[in-house]
Amino acid sequence: MKHFLSGIALALGLIVGTLPAHAAEGAKVELMKSGADVRDQASLQRGARLFFNYCVGCHSLKYVRYSRMAEDLGLTEDEVMKNLNFTGAKFQEPVISHMPAALAGTWFGKAPPDLSLEVDAKGADWVYTYLNTFYLDPKSPIGWNNTTLPNAAMPFPLWELQGMQSAQMQPAKDGDAAGVEKLVLSHPGKMTPAQFQQATRDLTSFLQYVSEPAALQRHHYGIWVLLFLALFTFLAALLKKEYWKDVH
């Protein structure tokens, strides 16, 4: 029993020791709970539609192929090629933005990052919070700012859906610069706040899927693995009892 408990403690220590950096950095920003769920296929489909309508113009998903995405999201080749493929790529090719590489840095100061591993690097809650915390900033060169990632170079691509938020600033204290106290929706968009939160939850779920497409299969097979382990443990216990019955 002592060896068993020691093994569990070691495993937990390894898990904690290898947590991604965003888990430790979360204290710097009060993150919103995303509620992202890669097992919700309808949510993934809606998130994919949002990504390909509002994000693929600048951002790639170079580790995901259209064909793999279609299989995982329950879509046909025809549905993907007609409704999600706007770059002229082939069905077996990865998702690459159609923004000219030579102009990407000129337009935004630096090339927009590939988002294949964005959720894996920063966490679903961070991405969800980031999508919900853009606000108008006349001092910014692009006219937008973000409380989660201040001075972000990206303009807000979903402003038509959410509308425009304005920042209410809190006064400076103890020599610190004034900061954003809260965001207020000053110009409503096409969606209500609740609808927009669901939309960004869907987009976050899709990006979470993209970060680890194999997670869908892992979740599917996980229950069978647990059942096998339970059966094996039962059989091992019976075998032990049979071997040691004469000793006891």
Binding residues for heme c: 55, 58-59
Residue type at position 97: S
Question: Can you tell me which residue has the tokens 């935004």?
Answer: 108
Question: Can you tell me which residue has the tokens 């609740």?
Answer: 194
DSSP state of 94: E
Burial of 142 (0-12, 13-18, 19+ CB in 10 A): middle
Binding annotation: 55, 58-59
Map residue 95 onto helix, strand or coil. Answer: strand
Alpha helices in the chain (DSSP H): 2-17, 21-25, 41-54, 66-73, 77-83, 101-108, 118-122, 124-132, 159-162, 193-211, 214-244
* Contacts (Cβ under 8 Å, ≥6 apart) of 49: 83, 84
